[in-house]
Structure 1
Amino acid sequence: MNNDRAERRQRIGDIAEIMLDYVEHKSTYQAQQVARVRTASYTDPDQWKAEMELVFRRVPLMLAFTAELPEPGNYKAMDAMGLPVLIVRDKAGQVRAFLNVCSHRGAPVAAEGHGKCARFTCKYHGWTYGQDGKLLGIAESTTFGDVDKAGLALRALPCEERAGMIFVALTPNAPLDLDDYFQGFLDDFESVDFANWAYLGSRTIEGANWKIAFDGYLEGYHFASLHPATIEPRTPANRTFYEGFGPSMRIGFPQHRIAEALKDVPREDWGDQENNGFDFVRILFPNVSAFLAPEITQVAQLFPGPTPDRNRTVLHYLRREPIRDEEDRAQVEQMIEFFRDVTYQEDYVIGMEIQKGLESGAHDNLVFGRNERGNQYFHEWLNWYLQDDATLPKPVM
């Protein structure tokens, strides 16, 4: 076992011990103080526009999984904050990303969704592009006139594949330094061999302002009141541990049975017991929440818009093993529907009610308690990016 893996295992074991203490003594992680966030930050169109420009079009966004594009020629075409994006694995196995916009007249070169092909053809005039984005052919080129084909390639976006995920920056030529950005956090996904998991499908739901929705993924304070029959029977409310990795977070949630689960496990092996007595939700700033579980994994990918009071969330589902047979597929679909329904009916419905409440002007600020450090940390980092001044000190957990 290498040193990084051993240190991570030791750290997870230490966190498990802390969470065991939380359950036994009815305590939780505590911030230094209560924090306030302006209500207007959830409703102000100008702030929403600033978030799009200073955050979502600058930082690395997790837009796809290795499991969605397992073979050369596989592609995924999608909308990301109003931008048409095309992600493709070329014949050499390298992942590339482009704006899905033909250089002739601006039409898409691939329809939204997944597929496999050797080249992309614009349906408007039939111009074709290779998996590397280069313009290959112009329909009836002898009548079109002379152009520099090399200068008419698809517009490339910075892209890198790491730990079973594909990260893209939505601004051409933007810097993309995943090591600096994630501060070792991607090792968590490497350690479980996430790159070789199977993709099971997705569901799309819509909700309120993206931060209202995302706030719900960052704390367990609401489990007893909002999820009494679904989450709380497994996970006690208000027993949460937080760690920061740059702007991203690992959030620990002990299970009610943590003492029983760890009772006969040697202390030095507690670092291998994730999902047996405790769970983690992994937050990839600014918009991804991943709950890795052996039965099925849900990864929520939140996209702001199309207006400040709305978000579109894509819920992705993966697991270690591919679908075995039709019976297995039916069971997987049942689990997917369950997780989708809990997320939408219990979290997103109240989120839309919260949106209405905030727009009423009833309060100038929202209050995040000392027990809601994850929410505080998220908003501190969001504000750091919005100030657009790299000389300012970065938030710390």
Structure 2
Amino acid sequence: MEMPVDRVQQVGDVAEIMLGYVEKRKTHQGERPRTVPTSTYLDKDQFNAEIELIFKRAPLMLAFTAELPNPGDYKAMEAVGLPVLINRDKAGKVRAFLNVCPHRGAPVAEGKGNCPRFTCKYHAWTFGADGKLIGIAEPSTFGDVDKSELGLRELPCEERAGMIFVCLAPNGPMNLDRHFRGFLDDFDALDFAHWTYLGSRTIEGANWKIAFDGYLEGYHFKSLHPETIFPRTPSNTMHYEGFGPNIRIGFPQHSIAEQLRDVPRDQWGTRENYGYDFVRIFFPNVSIFIAPEITQVAQLFPGPTPDRNRTVLNYLRRDPIRDEADREAVETAMNFFRDVTYQEDYVIGLEIQKGLESGAHDNLVFGRNERGNQFFHEWLNWYLEDDPSRPEPVM
């Protein structure tokens, strides 16, 4: 699928900016360094507020179209401690529910699969793909109940640009256009809905914001990733764009001048991964790195305690699996990316957690060059203040 002309021009303008950064050894700059209280990463009350005011209000990207391509496909998962069931009904519509039987609270589905209805393993109550209660086991002895009031609790859910977004509050807001401000057009342009879902890996780390901070800057590439990222991407060379609370981070490659030299200027916006890369950030908890070989989508879930997070690393690519040898190569690649993410980023995050818990410093400081981190924490605070009339942060 070809990208719209205006988007090619917009990305091309960013490529030109990044080329200038490399040639002049510069990077995107905020107005000034900004501090964040150490308690942001430690305080239990703030952790609870983040769950209630952010993770249960913002639309969360919980699944991919490629995971549930067919009617009857479903996925049961945990998100921020809540059991969630996502499925595609026979008409092709995607729905989401709390995976909790209204009879006695047991889950009605586990793992992934395909089925026309869901049956609770505890007492065999059965529910349709629309969440409605179909049947009660041995109804003659159970007594009269109103089945229409005993369906699964549905969650706001919308499928867009190859991804499935869910609000974890049953009556919560779901306005993807307002939340993403055109950012999802990137994924429409990439034809993301028709990619292949390869699998996932799960890792655990420190407070979710300690882990997420690492996805928001390249200031650490040379020191922390000297053999994996730095050979491709210069350290401390980033460009930030805000789409509401979401961020597109541009990372030029060392070879950007060489890669773009013979490409017409009006086509620079079509050269992602060939001279420059993007990391796309969905507020509050998703980081996406798209590459030709394999794409990694990290979903960070807070908890179960303030000092820990669970991160699901999802892997996709444009082409389907060709054969068994290809599958083995994909599994090896997924393990490699998981190991690098954990060993190079999450291990130091756990060390940072200990450092903050020591009480050594009251605040952390994000430099002018770490504008993405500043912006993320500004939006975090905007949500926590719970005052929609307050001006929104701008990049």
Asked if Structure 1 and Structure 2 have the same fold, meaning a TM-score greater than 0.5 normalized by the shorter chain, the answer is yes
Counterpart for residue 321 of structure 1: 319
* 1:331, distance to aligned residue in structure 2 (A): 1.3
Tell me the distance in 1 between the aligned counterparts of 2:32 and 2:333.
39
Counterpart for residue 212 of structure 1: 210
* 1:245, distance to aligned residue in structure 2 (A): 0.2
Tell me the distance in 2 between the aligned counterparts of 1:339 and 1:25.
31
* 1:172, distance to aligned residue in structure 2 (A): 0.5
* 1:6, distance to aligned residue in structure 2 (A): 1.4
Counterpart for residue 46 of structure 2: 47
Counterpart for residue 138 of structure 1: 136
SS in 1 for 2:40: helix
Amino acid in structure 2 at the alignment position of 1:87:
I
SS in 1 for 2:4: helix
Tell me the distance in 2 between the aligned counterparts of 1:25 and 1:89.
51
Residue number among 257, 262, 268 corresponding to 2:260 in the alignment: 262
Tell me the distance in 2 between the aligned counterparts of 1:271 and 1:94.
34
- Match status 1:201 vs 2:205: no
Tell me the distance in 1 between the aligned counterparts of 2:246 and 2:359.
31
SS in 2 for 1:309: coil
Amino acid in structure 1 at the alignment position of 2:176:
L
In the TM superposition, 1:20-99 aligns within 5 A as: 20-99=19-98
* 1:363, distance to aligned residue in structure 2 (A): 0.3
Amino acid in structure 2 at the alignment position of 1:33:
R
Amino acid in structure 1 at the alignment position of 2:74:
Y
After superposition, give the CA deviation of every residue in 1:282-324 in whole Å (9 maximum; x if it has no partner): 0000000000111000000000000000000000000000100
* 1:138, distance to aligned residue in structure 2 (A): 0.1
SS in 1 for 2:259: helix
Unmatched runs of 5 consecutive residues or more in structure 1: none
Residue number among 180, 183, 186 corresponding to 2:181 in the alignment: 183
Tell me the distance in 2 between the aligned counterparts of 1:269 and 1:175.
39
* 1:219, distance to aligned residue in structure 2 (A): 0.1
* 1:329, distance to aligned residue in structure 2 (A): 1.1
After superposition, give the CA deviation of every residue in 1:147-185 in whole Å (9 maximum; x if it has no partner): 000000000000000000000000011120000110000
How high is the TM-score relative to the length of structure 1? 0.99
SS in 1 for 2:177: helix
After superposition, give the CA deviation of every residue in 1:92-138 in whole Å (9 maximum; x if it has no partner): 00000000000100000001x21110110000000000000000000
Tell me the distance in 2 between the aligned counterparts of 1:297 and 1:241.
20
Counterpart for residue 102 of structure 1: 101
* 1:48, distance to aligned residue in structure 2 (A): 0.3
Segments ≥4 residues shifted beyond 3 Å: none
Tell me the distance in 1 between the aligned counterparts of 2:112 and 2:87.
10
Counterpart for residue 375 of structure 1: 373
Amino acid in structure 1 at the alignment position of 2:27:
T
In the TM superposition, 1:124-135 aligns within 5 A as: 124-135=122-133
Tell me the distance in 2 between the aligned counterparts of 1:288 and 1:137.
38
After superposition, give the CA deviation of every residue in 1:211-231 in whole Å (9 maximum; x if it has no partner): 000000000000000000000
* 1:260, distance to aligned residue in structure 2 (A): 0.6
How high is the TM-score relative to the length of structure 2? 0.99
Tell me the distance in 2 between the aligned counterparts of 1:331 and 1:19.
33
Amino acid in structure 2 at the alignment position of 1:39:
T
Amino acid in structure 1 at the alignment position of 2:15:
A
Tell me the distance in 1 between the aligned counterparts of 2:102 and 2:96.
15
Amino acid in structure 2 at the alignment position of 1:217:
Y
Unmatched runs of 5 consecutive residues or more in structure 2: none
In the TM superposition, 1:158-307 aligns within 5 A as: 158-307=156-305
Tell me the distance in 2 between the aligned counterparts of 1:17 and 1:336.
32
* 1:330, distance to aligned residue in structure 2 (A): 1.4
Counterpart for residue 341 of structure 2: 343
SS in 1 for 2:375: helix
Tell me the distance in 2 between the aligned counterparts of 1:253 and 1:232.
11
How many pairs are equivalent? 395
SS in 2 for 1:327: helix
Residue number among 331, 336, 354 corresponding to 2:352 in the alignment: 354
Tell me the distance in 2 between the aligned counterparts of 1:54 and 1:327.
46
Tell me the distance in 1 between the aligned counterparts of 2:203 and 2:172.
30
Tell me the distance in 2 between the aligned counterparts of 1:352 and 1:250.
26
SS in 2 for 1:139: coil
After superposition, give the CA deviation of every residue in 1:349-385 in whole Å (9 maximum; x if it has no partner): 0000000000000000000000000000000000000
After superposition, give the CA deviation of every residue in 1:69-90 in whole Å (9 maximum; x if it has no partner): 0000000000001100000000
* 1:10, distance to aligned residue in structure 2 (A): 0.3
Amino acid in structure 1 at the alignment position of 2:313:
L
Tell me the distance in 1 between the aligned counterparts of 2:225 and 2:81.
33
SS in 2 for 1:154: coil
- Match status 1:18 vs 2:32: no
* 1:55, distance to aligned residue in structure 2 (A): 0.2
Amino acid in structure 1 at the alignment position of 2:144:
D
Counterpart for residue 394 of structure 1: 392
Tell me the distance in 1 between the aligned counterparts of 2:204 and 2:186.
29
